[in-house]
Amino acid sequence: MKLSVWTYEGPPHVGAMRVATGMRGLHYVLHAPQGDTYADLLFTMIERREERPPVTYTTFQARDLGADTADLFRTACRDAVERFAPQAIIVGASCTAELIQDDPGGMAETMELDIPVIALELPSYQRKENFGADETFYQIVRHLARPMERTARVSCNILGPTGLGFRHRDDVAEITSLLADMGVEVNVTAPMGASPQDLTGLGRAHFNVLLYPETAEAAARWCEKELGQPFTRIVPIGVGATRDFVAEVRALAPAATAPSEEGLRLPWYSASVDSTYLTGKRVFLFGDATHVMAMARVARDEIGFDVVGLGCYNREFARPLRALAREYGVEAIVTDDYLEVEQTIEALAPEMIMGTQMERHIGKRLGIPCAVISAPVHVQDYPARYSPVMGFEGANVLFDTLVHPLVMGLEEHLLHMFRDDFEFHDAAGPSHHGGGAARAESAGGASPPGPPEDISGKMNGADALVWLEAAERELKKIPFFVRGKARRNTEAFAAQRGVQEISVDTLYEAKAHYAR
Amino acid sequence: MAPLPARGCGATPVLKERGQREVFCGLTGIIWLHRKMQDAFFLVVGSRTCAHLLQSAAGVMIFAEPRFATAILEETDLAGLADAQDELDREVARLLARRPDIRQLFLVGSCPSEVIKLDLAKAAERLTRAHAPHVRVLNYSGSGIETTFTEGEDACLASMVPALPETSERALLLVGALPDVVEDQALALLSALGIDAVRCLPARRSDDTPAIGPNTVFALCQPFLGETHAALRRRGARPIPAPMPFGEEGTTQWLAAIARDFGVSAERFEAVTAAPRARARRAVAAAAETLKGRSVFFFPDSQLEIPLARFLVRECGMEAIEIGTPFLHREIAGPDLDLLPEGPVISEGQDVDLQLDRARAARADLTVCGLGLANPLEAQGLATKWSIELVFTPVHFYEQAGDLAALFARPLRRKARLKIEAAE
């Protein structure tokens, strides 16, 4: 048993729902108890879909347990096929149905339906949502796709976008137009928007673009082996990655031309003088491995941040993520326990977090700005406006996303100049937090000087550092958004030198030491 | 007050359906129960699905260090049962060490824990002994296979009843978790009527746990408390049947039933209730302008549907087409059914596809349904009111009567106000 309040991922059958809901003409018959229909609202509310997800639940109840549930499944299956007339169905069990061992796949196969029936085995007590999506899509592709003659003109499939994906809708549009610009046609985009009928024609494409390894890597590998289609390894998030992606595509399709970079503004915006203040801002990244790995490159090489830590919640990608962290010279954290993520963030005291909905709330609590870069996300991250994160327009979107939470150059400069003004006092807090985030600091200002809060998260033992009153006062004069770093640096500096009492001098010696 | 209908719905045959049910399970009750019971913690023993459900239903609230969590069953727990109990003990000990403010711990059963027959009752007894006297551990099931949405509260309260201390005091027990502001209004009104020995189940803190005995009378504030009703009767308490306190009429009749039981004079009753009744009528009238003559269709969700339909029909002038309820408890819903004029289909249970067919055919002016159905129905041009809000928002008693009517009027006003067609 594992105690959990937040879960970064749902159970695997929710992953299967994401595939089914992304597709057209496919229906999912899910053997599940009453109540599991809650997952519908993820699609109808968070993603704001106008149709119910194409899922029929058996919704068995206690009184049905026994021989009855198998009948219930057959009835639900027959009714769903009759009512929705899908081109194919997928069938499976949720966590509870897995325990009662009805074997939905076996039952559906004996029903002699005249459409393809694809059985799913999703181990609910070992695996999670992303696995569910990846495995479901793989099973569907394996059942439906066959080797075929290639299209006359060079074409590719786009693999990975699903229902409830972070910015999948606009990423697909952006990459489709990027490929069109290069003279590469898209044969099938799947699962999102594809029907089972469309999937039977996957084999016509010359190669595959794997947009989201989390949800389609197994299918891409199968296509490579069985259909002879190579697939792209680079996820085109950021300017550099998009250019590398273009090179990768051109290697796979020699006739492809270079795309236009007109409209790409990130490089100039990032080079312009107002962005100088972004240099070396300390960021921590957490989310799904694909987004974290790609965004780390954007953060460091394209915005000029310092990556001070990174991590992901999906263990399937632990190895490449750890390798990348080593390249960045930081520790990787692979966990699905938000408390561990919170502790790491507290210990690192970054100036910004790039994370999920959970990290947004952790940031709120700690008074650290946060940009959301990965699922799980809430309704505000399914925006009405066009907001891809991939390709060249995606890079523009990313620049805005990563910079908005921070105080910009000129604003930061003004805050320094007028830091004693009544409007810029501590309790005013960063404007984007509505003043709420400064709570902890201002409370500290009101109380008599006690032992300093230790933001490193370590216990203070016999070698505890003591801030002298004057130093504590001086620290308060430093703008709140760099105060955490100043405190941390000073304490580290003092500890290194075996100094136990921190004076104003210690503070400024440390400042000089760490000056960059 | 509108006159009693010549024929109420009490004798209307009920359409009973079985099929796919688009409803929440009882675990959802935790989300409002834990706000009410300030020193209680709710530990669900279940799967990742259960944790995901709580997270989805709790929305933003989950980020505020809530007093609930899920002990997620893993493969090893399924392999051998003995060790699941040890695992549970360990997780509970860790939890209680981290949260010393917790005085009541509920082990909440789920579908997976019920199907593998994990004995949480025994675990609760054992853990109570281990953590006495500081923490009492109780257990109930909020599983989808046994409970629908608000029935989770019923199961929770019913689990508390056998452990309530015994008393012979003549007292009134209000049953059902109400928002604090609403509870305070109810207590003030009863006190003004001269009824001061009033306790609440659930109490805000475990120190205030009410006592119970043969001289206790109880009034339900919520219609979904069938098990609790039965458990209280087993302890010798006597119910005061009344319609649910929604709207001016519902609140008045609810109070009147209690006042009769306590021998409050008609003059005093009139003196205490006249002003708030007038206020409530005025407030409802404002929203009723939008609602009058409009039709309403209820999908089953919380068991609040029958009393709410009664309020909308009698006080707001709406016409009910179908009133779906996940479960119809005759004894409790009786007074509301009798007030509801004959006409609407009363349905119990659900086959969601068939019910959707009926709702689309009826094209009611307002369809009350869950979040999984609301947007898809809006996209088909039907105005909807999502029902879960009726459970979280203060809607009972006089001062909230206008707000309650406004909750139903707002979607209609919005529909009338928006002058854009959806993009093609």
Helix, strand, or coil (residue A353):
strand
Tens-digit pLDDT profile for residues A420-466: 555 555 555 555 444 444 444 433 333 333 433 433 434 444 457 88
Q: Which of residues 134-163 of B touch A (CB under 8 A)?
A: 143-146, 148
How much helix, strand and coil, in percent to the nearest 5, is found in chain B? 50, 15, 35
Say whether residue B376 is in contact with chain A using an 8 A CB cutoff.
yes
> What is the average pLDDT across B11-31?
94
pLDDT more than 70, % of chain A? 88
More confident residue, B423 or A55: A55
Tens-digit pLDDT profile for residues B276-288: 999 999 999 999 9
Tens-digit pLDDT profile for residues A86-134: 999 999 999 999 998 889 999 998 998 999 999 999 999 999 999 999 9
Neighbours of B424 (CB within 10 A): 3
Say whether residue A107 is in contact with chain B using an 8 A CB cutoff.
no
Say whether residue A358 is in contact with chain B using an 8 A CB cutoff.
yes
How many beta-carbon pairs below 8 A join chains A and B? 176
Distance from CA of B41 to the nearest CA of A (A): 12
> What is the average pLDDT across A377-405?
95
pLDDT at A481: 66
Distance from CA of B50 to the nearest CA of A (A): 9
DSSP A45: I
More confident residue, B241 or A475: B241
Peptide linkage before A430 cis (omega within 30 of 0): no
> What is the average pLDDT across B179-185?
94
The pLDDT-based confidence of B420 (bands split at 50, 70, 90) is confident
Query: In whole angstroms, what is the distance from residue A354 CA to residue A339 CA?
Result: 17
Helix, strand, or coil (residue A473):
helix
Nearest CB among B20, B23, B87 relative to A1 is that of B87
pLDDT at A425: 55
Residue ranges in B222-304 assigned as alpha helix (H): 226-234, 247-261, 266-291
Tens-digit pLDDT profile for residues A205-250: 999 999 999 999 999 999 999 999 999 999 999 999 999 999 999 9
pTM: 0.90
pLDDT at A223: 98
**Please, what's the b/e burial string for B351-386 (b: 16 or more CB within 10 A of its CB; e: otherwise)?**
bbbebbebbeebebbbbbbbbbbbbbbbeeebbbbb
pLDDT at A453: 41
- Pairing of the two strands A207-210 and A332-334: unpaired
pLDDT at A427: 56
A420 is catalytic: no
Q: Which of residues 107-136 of B touch A (CB under 8 A)?
A: 111-112, 114-116
Residues whose CB is less than 8 angstroms from the CB of residue A244 and which lie 6 or more positions away in sequence, other chains included: A234, A236
pLDDT at B81: 64
**Please, what's the b/e burial string for B288-304 (b: 16 or more CB within 10 A of its CB; e: otherwise)?**
bebbeebbbbbbbbbbb
Structure tokens, B20: 């796919």
pLDDT at B408: 98
Give yes or no for residue A333 having a pLDDT over 90: yes
Summary mean pLDDT of chain A: 89
> What is the average pLDDT across B378-399?
94
A13 and B370: CB-CB below 8 Å? no
Tens-digit pLDDT profile for residues B85-123: 899 999 999 999 988 999 999 999 999 999 999 999 999
Distance from CA of A58 to the nearest CA of B (A): 6
Helix, strand, or coil (residue B159):
helix
